[in-house]
Amino acid sequence: MIWDLQEVRNQLLRNPQLSLDLSPKEIPISEIKLLNREEIELLEEHVQNLGDLVDNWFNLLTISKQTKIDRFLLEKICSCASILIDKTDDAYLQLKSTGSTYVKIVFTGLYATGKTSIIRHLKRTDPLKIYHESVLTAPRPTIGMDSIRLSFNEIPIVLWELGGQEAFRKSYITDPRKYFSHTKAIIFVFDGKDEEKIEESLEFLKEFKSALKKQEAKLNKFGNLPKFYFIVNKMDEGPDESAPFIAEMANRISEILPETSLVNIMQVIYPTSIKIGTSITTFFGRVLEEIIPFRRYINEGLSTLSLIYNFDFSCLIDLEVGRLPLGWQHNNKLEPKKIINQLLDLFEEGLFEYSTFTVDTGKQIKEVNISRLKILKREYVYLYILGDEANIDQLLMKKEKIEELAIRALTPQLRFIQLAFDPNFHKQR
């Protein structure tokens, strides 16, 4: 079951028909059935309709203190109102269209291409150096199918790994529906250092594509067909050096998938290396963003805070999913990808335990401030670079205030993303 607009109307409004007759922004506060009459009168002193409430999400803590209405209840109401207002928004419709209360991603490919190591990398909590020291032996071959669970913003993610030996591959081709029903993404992994395996992998891709095509109608009954992504693994030399080889691989794949343009394949093929932690984090972040379009909402929260304090750059990182950057804000003078890659490299050295460190912004060396935030029972890292016009001494004294406002700015955004996957949301009051 997925939370739909009618359910939101039914749970939020005394008269659900109103959201069809009026613009959701114009629905008066008095129509919120989650509030009693006294709470409505107190809230009407601050906001008049759902549009006003959503526009004031950053002030919910202040409104809560002044009205004595529970802050979490106000956040719930604000999140529901946001959905009604954004009901035609493409990003929300994409969230809603996932059609499941979990996200299933399948890794496939030949044996010993690195599938298990990539999945372990996403699950790990240690910095890369410590992680490598703790994994002294290569993982055993996957027998049949294995899976692990991750949690992104309390949204369950299930990573399936299909064993790559020939006997197992035949079963995937014989009965793809058994393995790929309800799948949001198929990640096909190549060993970029073994030409024999590359040839064998391309042959398997042909058979695999043909099998999925035959089962297309049946798979469609279980949701939309999954999107393909391609990993060329063991590219230890780095993305720039491996770029010509990746372009060659994209050409070879496009010959097997002529219905997919070379341009599109170049957008879904990634060089990765277990020795370069950022390559796996970057790849997985892009895949996840296409399934759960979270970044836009996180960026809105970050931008609000950056405007208040004149930050040149800010970023939110999820520590529980491979140190995944969820969103970032920057002024036009900076190169965000360059900064984020440096931040992730420093994190892999374990430097996130410090309160500050420096990065090269492309223009000058800047100090990055680090805060650990607890939002909706999860731990995040919030990083920001002060602008040239910021009063540094005053801001250093206000670090706790900045952290408090960051939590207030980001909580509704994270809750909004959760809501599309949480059919029991209305039962939490």
pLDDT at 339: 86
pLDDT digits (tens, 9 = 90+) for 364-373: 888 888 889 9
CATH of domain 295-419: 3.30.450
Which pTM was predicted? Answer: 0.73
pLDDT at 420: 59
Write down the domain spans for the chain.
Answer: 5-88, 103-291, 295-419
Check if the beta carbon of residue 420 is closer than 8 Å to that of residue 5: no
pLDDT digits (tens, 9 = 90+) for 82-107: 777 765 444 444 555 545 567 899 99
Q: Cα–Cα–Cα angle for 390, 298, 84, nearest 5°?
A: 125
DSSP conformation letters of 248-300: HHHHHHHHH-TTS-HHHHHHSEEE-BTTBHHHHHHHHHHHHHHHS--HHHHHH
Write down how long the chain is: 429
pLDDT at 397: 60
* pLDDT interval class at 44 (50, 70, 90): very high
CATH of domain 103-291: 3.40.50.300
pLDDT digits (tens, 9 = 90+) for 230-255: 999 999 988 889 999 999 999 999 99
pLDDT of residue 198 exceeding 80 = yes
Q: Cα–Cα–Cα angle for 126, 344, 287, nearest 5°?
A: 90
Report the amino acid identity of residue 239.
P
pLDDT digits (tens, 9 = 90+) for 308-355: 888 889 999 987 777 789 999 988 777 888 888 888 877 777 666 667
Out of 163-172, 187-196, 223-232, least confident range = 223-232
